[in-house]
Structure 1
Amino acid sequence: MRAPRVIPAMAAALLLAVIVAVFGCSSIAGTARPTENILVRPVDPSFVYGTDGSSIDRLAATVVTDVQAYWSRAFPQHFGSPWRDIDGGFFSVDTTDKDSDPPPCTAEVADLAGNAFYCTALDAIAWDRAALLPVLAEHYGRTAVVAVLAHEMGHAVQHRHSTPSGDTGSGAAGTSTSSPILTEAIADCYAGAYARWVVDGHSERLHIRKAQLDGAMRALTSFRDPVGTPRSDAGAHGTAFDRVSAFQDGYRGGPSSCAEMTRHNRFTSTAMTSAPERRNQPLEKILRSRAAAMRAYFAGLVDRRGGHWTDPVLHRASPANCTEGRRRAEDRRRPVVYCPQPPTVLVDRRELANTHGEIGDQASATALATGYARAALSGLGRPTSGAEAARQASCLAGAYTGSVLHEAARRPPLSASDLDEAVILLLSEEKVGRAASATSAPTGFDRVTAFRAGVRGGADACGA
């Protein structure tokens, strides 16, 4: 019997530890909005084995019903054969109850603790309604529950469809263990394709706004592989950058793009994933050496494009300084702000130190890079505030990060965890911006999409 596929590090204690480690008790925490309802036509969970009829099981039952409705349309359209509904059943288990019956593909209830999985052998899906789904909803919002269950349904899609991928032993059916990380990426991608269908208003049961997907994105970043996890590891799911990328690729490209994934076109470089996690550099070093490198990069970019670069002053000040930049509501709590008059990159030392300590040095470096990116926009005669400027600044910060990766011959490459820190920073930056200006700030989803475009395509991908 094939072992169930599971989400890594999802035992309740580990999940809470990850949340505390990543978000602490700071302003970056509390990103979920659990009171925000996404159910339009809830589904009675009575068809779920072991259900207690609770609201969390009602949410889960609605999601799996809706995902199957999506695939009943999308599967024939993209893969040319009819969709077959899950025939092994859905199982809800209270893992805190020692008398609960273990679900399929497990020997005991503890095997499911803090987890959800697709059981390939019996074509069944199980979830922990006590230590997984409520924790997801509380910390990341109900869309995180949607993403996790859509991911497990993605494995059912793989089980029903096999696509030659040019990657020996790792086709979309997920029937080989030679590339588990690819199998998981495709499931993330299928979850993103389904999410797009819901956001576009095609679901009769769920209503999700694009901004609400940020909770799902935050969940994916927390469920990343630990640094140093080999890609061949049976439980490998990828870095945060990889997982978010797969979800977004499915969202933008649909199921066909997911089935075309290979190990060679999907993941962060082997050099990055094999590189040991770097120790955080002191914040002062970021503000000195990396700031100098950023100024040189963006000055060269502006010069090549025929603009006029004015080297901004790096000013470490309190939020009371640089009134013009801080007057914009979207900038009041950002750790780094660009002030056009006079050209200044204003660093809120306390906020940036919080970011540095809670997420990592690459997060503070990315925040600094977005400040210099706005200076580059100014030098090119582009707006430096508003949603489009925020998107372009995120993209240009990605382009700068990509340039660092390409200089690996002259300096050690960034580790995979560095890209993860940048993604987490962009998601938390979104929270600050939208809290102040709900309609003008781009979503975290948009910021990460732009950053990824810059990393992979350079400044040419940024439209600046």
Structure 2
Amino acid sequence: MRPRHLRRLLAVAGAAVVLAGCGTTVQGKPVSIFEDPFKVAGLQAVDGDSGLRSNAEKPTREVTDGDGGKDDEIAAQSVSDLETFWQEAYSQTFDGKFQPVKDLISWDPNGYAGTFCDESTDGLINAAFCEDDNTIGWDRGVLLPSLRQANGDMAITMVLAHEYGHAIQKLAKLNKKGTPTLVAEQQADCFAGVYMRWVAEGNSPRFTLSTGDGLNNLLAAMISFRDPLLSQNDYYSTGDEHGSAFERISAFQFGFTDGASSCAAIDAAEIGQRRGDLPVELQSDQTGEWPVSEESTRAIVDAMNILFSPKNPPHLMFDAASASTCPDARPSPPVSFCPATNTIAVDLPGLEKIGAPNEGQDNVLVQGDNTAYSVVVSRYMLALQHQQSGLVLDNATAGLRTACLTGVATTKLSEEVTTPDGNTVALTAGDIDEAVSGLLTNGLAASDINGETVPAGFSRIDAFRIGVLGDQERCLKRFP
């Protein structure tokens, strides 16, 4: 909802999530400094401290109606840091001089009701930029502490970096009246990525952000703030569309990788091109979930055979123990590919577990059928790679190449495929987000022949995105 030009994050405190640990990471020396799988957009991928520095500079902004607590402190520091960044960065992309927002306003939605942007703060669980009076406000009673508990200090900073992105939009006059909310929101996600790159580079006098677990946690928070999954019978009654998790993370990655000019380039045409034929809503007769079973798994592999027509299709088997006898690859449960026998071995109970839908559950990342099926597809794409000479399958580049090709295969399923057993396999709304969530939490769809993946979830999702928006040739060139 956008009363009186109120820009919202569309935040729900209960949706904050704790990111699960990522899988085994690949060891080794990268080959190319330009396509280094151990780097995140050119920065070394490392775990480490993320959050407010112990020796942080004092905030330059005060908070109206704040309570002096930790959450207000981090919020004030966040806005102060954002203004330190934009003071220098703004003129590098936009005409004119940077001007800070007018005021910072804090409230407790369960306490004394004040106003923000001419709206009562009673029960207002959110953070927002108000275009009418050029202010930024936040809920310190529910939203901010929930974010900090689930994803650390930087989750608060991330929210406010998004909101400050709206202030940059207004200052730069990026959007004319009538610009879709979706455009403005993804521009703001992109601007948040620009700032977070500056922090990750070690330039912030107040915050640190590691490119491993720290950045992974921010991406997890973005997934939790995706638009709700709608059917064609639903509608955005508030006009407050922000985008799917895939779209929001893509916008963030544009900013993190390419800078503020890439954010200004986001418009309705760019988003439309990025969406292509990907489904954005469920048909009236769809649930979006196809329970994982032997039948459904066979249908997925049959669909891949139809789409890619390999000369020697891999053989699917449901004998998980057979993976341990493969002479040239280690198991990667719940789905393993053995080059020597050209077999895909499935541990069905394990696959069912990672494909069980959890829509509506609190404090978890989205999971569903395509969290599992994307792993099956990734092992199939390894089988296709095995049939091409010269491709190494047991290193970090192979893991990212596999993620990319899995993205290609996922997009191909935008059109229905009828398999020999009479099943119809097709991508539905929400499937891309389920795959992205799996890439972040376990990385299996971005793993090599031995099930090893690169440490940065950012890199896994970036490789998958390249495939979703590209083709096989692009994946092979990017990850040779």
TM-score, scaled relative to structure 1:
0.81
Contact (CA 8 Å) 1:106, 1:112: kept in 2 or not? no
1:110 corresponds in structure 2 to: 122
For structure 1, which segment, 196-205 or 394-403, has the greater mean C-alpha deviation from structure 2 after superposition?
196-205
For structure 1, which segment, 212-221 or 223-232, has the greater mean C-alpha deviation from structure 2 after superposition?
223-232
Q: Residues 28-47 of structure 1: matches in 2 within 5 Å?
A: 36-40=49-53, 41-44=55-58, 47=62
Contact (CA 8 Å) 1:199, 1:210: kept in 2 or not? yes
1:304 corresponds in structure 2 to: none
What is the deviation of 1:270?
6.9
Contact (CA 8 Å) 1:392, 1:450: kept in 2 or not? yes
1:4 corresponds in structure 2 to: 6
Give me the whole-angstrom Cα distance separating, in 2, the residues matched to 1:102 and 1:197: 35
Give me the whole-angstrom Cα distance separating, in 1, the residues matched to 2:327 and 2:216: 26
The AA in structure 2 aligned to 1:266 is I
2:34 corresponds in structure 1 to: none
Task: Give the SS at the match of 2:355.
Answer: helix
Give me the whole-angstrom Cα distance separating, in 1, the residues matched to 2:336 and 2:328: 8
Residue 298 (structure 2) pairs with residue 288 (structure 1): yes
Contact (CA 8 Å) 1:239, 1:420: kept in 2 or not? yes
Give me the whole-angstrom Cα distance separating, in 1, the residues matched to 2:306 and 2:168: 48
The runs of 5 or more residues in structure 2 that have no matched partner are 23-46, 358-366
Match of 2:67 among 41, 44, 52: 52
Per-residue displacement from partner, 1:103-124 (whole Å, max 9, x unpaired)?
42143222522x1001111111
Per-residue displacement from partner, 1:78-105 (whole Å, max 9, x unpaired)?
0122100112x11222323x22x52421
The AA in structure 2 aligned to 1:219 is A
The AA in structure 2 aligned to 1:92 is S
Contact (CA 8 Å) 1:71, 1:83: kept in 2 or not? yes
2:263 corresponds in structure 1 to: 258
Contact (CA 8 Å) 2:335, 2:351: kept in 1 or not? yes
What is the deviation of 1:363?
1.8
- How many pairs does the alignment contain? 423
Give me the whole-angstrom Cα distance separating, in 2, the residues matched to 1:27 and 1:336: 19
Residue 161 (structure 2) pairs with residue 156 (structure 1): no
Contact (CA 8 Å) 2:190, 2:260: kept in 1 or not? yes
What is the deviation of 1:263?
1.1
Contact (CA 8 Å) 1:272, 1:414: kept in 2 or not? yes
Aligned in 2, Cα 1:351/1:139: closer, same or farther, shift over 3 Å?
farther
Give me the whole-angstrom Cα distance separating, in 1, the residues matched to 2:99 and 2:247: 29
Per-residue displacement from partner, 1:138-192 (whole Å, max 9, x unpaired)?
22333322221100000000110123xxxxxxx2xxx634411111111111111
What is the deviation of 1:55?
2.7
Residue 96 (structure 2) pairs with residue 86 (structure 1): no
2:465 corresponds in structure 1 to: 452
Per-residue displacement from partner, 1:358-390 (whole Å, max 9, x unpaired)?
322222211111111222232224222332111
Task: Give the SS at the match of 1:416.
Answer: coil
The AA in structure 2 aligned to 1:291 is V
Give me the whole-angstrom Cα distance separating, in 2, the residues matched to 1:27 and 1:270: 33
Contact (CA 8 Å) 1:154, 1:186: kept in 2 or not? yes
Q: Residues 179-194 of structure 1: matches in 2 within 5 Å?
A: 179-194=180-195
The AA in structure 2 aligned to 1:395 is C
Residue 226 (structure 2) pairs with residue 224 (structure 1): yes
What is the deviation of 1:63?
1.7
2:353 corresponds in structure 1 to: 354
Counting helix residues as a fraction of each chain, which structure ranks higher?
1
What is the deviation of 1:241?
1.5
What is the deviation of 1:260?
1.4
1:238 corresponds in structure 2 to: 243
Give me the whole-angstrom Cα distance separating, in 2, the residues matched to 1:53 and 1:291: 57
2:27 corresponds in structure 1 to: none
Contact (CA 8 Å) 1:50, 1:92: kept in 2 or not? yes
Contact (CA 8 Å) 1:75, 1:82: kept in 2 or not? yes
Q: Residues 130-145 of structure 1: matches in 2 within 5 Å?
A: 130-145=141-156
Give me the whole-angstrom Cα distance separating, in 2, the residues matched to 1:226 and 1:50: 32
Contact (CA 8 Å) 1:337, 1:371: kept in 2 or not? yes
Give me the whole-angstrom Cα distance separating, in 2, the residues matched to 1:413 and 1:342: 29
Aligned in 2, Cα 1:342/1:134: closer, same or farther, shift over 3 Å?
farther
The AA in structure 2 aligned to 1:287 is T
Q: Residues 403-414 of structure 1: matches in 2 within 5 Å?
A: 403-405=412-414, 414=427
Greater RCO (CA < 8 Å, at least 6 residues apart): 2
Give me the whole-angstrom Cα distance separating, in 2, the residues matched to 1:462 and 1:271: 19
TM-score, scaled relative to structure 2:
0.78
Task: Give the SS at the match of 1:272.
Answer: coil
What is the deviation of 1:286?
2.7
Task: Give the SS at the match of 1:210.
Answer: coil
Contact (CA 8 Å) 1:272, 1:413: kept in 2 or not? no
Task: Give the SS at the match of 1:57.
Answer: helix
Per-residue displacement from partner, 1:397-445 (whole Å, max 9, x unpaired)?
00111222256899786333121111112112239999xx9x9624211
Give me the whole-angstrom Cα distance separating, in 1, the residues matched to 2:432 and 2:170: 31
The AA in structure 1 aligned to 2:280 is T
Contact (CA 8 Å) 2:154, 2:218: kept in 1 or not? yes
What is the deviation of 1:60?
1.9
What is the deviation of 1:59?
2.2
Task: Give the SS at the match of 1:345.
Answer: strand
What is the deviation of 1:271?
6.8
Contact (CA 8 Å) 1:369, 1:400: kept in 2 or not? yes
| Superposition CA RMSD, Å | 3.3
The AA in structure 1 aligned to 2:117 is C
Aligned in 2, Cα 1:182/1:378: closer, same or farther, shift over 3 Å?
same
Aligned in 2, Cα 1:336/1:103: closer, same or farther, shift over 3 Å?
farther
Q: Residues 372-451 of structure 1: matches in 2 within 5 Å?
A: 372-380=380-388, 381-405=390-414, 414-430=427-443, 441-451=454-464
What is the deviation of 1:256?
0.9
Task: Give the SS at the match of 1:258.
Answer: helix
Task: Give the SS at the match of 2:270.
Answer: coil
Give me the whole-angstrom Cα distance separating, in 1, the residues matched to 2:209 and 2:252: 16
The AA in structure 2 aligned to 1:59 is I
Aligned in 2, Cα 1:185/1:352: closer, same or farther, shift over 3 Å?
same
Give me the whole-angstrom Cα distance separating, in 2, the residues matched to 1:319 and 1:136: 42
Aligned in 2, Cα 1:271/1:287: closer, same or farther, shift over 3 Å?
closer
Give me the whole-angstrom Cα distance separating, in 2, the residues matched to 1:320 and 1:128: 54
The AA in structure 1 aligned to 2:66 is T
The AA in structure 2 aligned to 1:257 is S
Contact (CA 8 Å) 1:220, 1:244: kept in 2 or not? yes
Contact (CA 8 Å) 2:288, 2:431: kept in 1 or not? no
The AA in structure 2 aligned to 1:392 is R
Per-residue displacement from partner, 1:209-268 (whole Å, max 9, x unpaired)?
222212121121221112236579521111112111111111122111111111121142
Give me the whole-angstrom Cα distance separating, in 1, the residues matched to 2:302 and 2:455: 28
Residue identity over aligned pairs, in percent, reads 30
2:334 corresponds in structure 1 to: 335
Task: Give the SS at the match of 1:110.
Answer: coil
1:166 corresponds in structure 2 to: none
For structure 1, which segment, 194-203 or 451-460, has the greater mean C-alpha deviation from structure 2 after superposition?
194-203
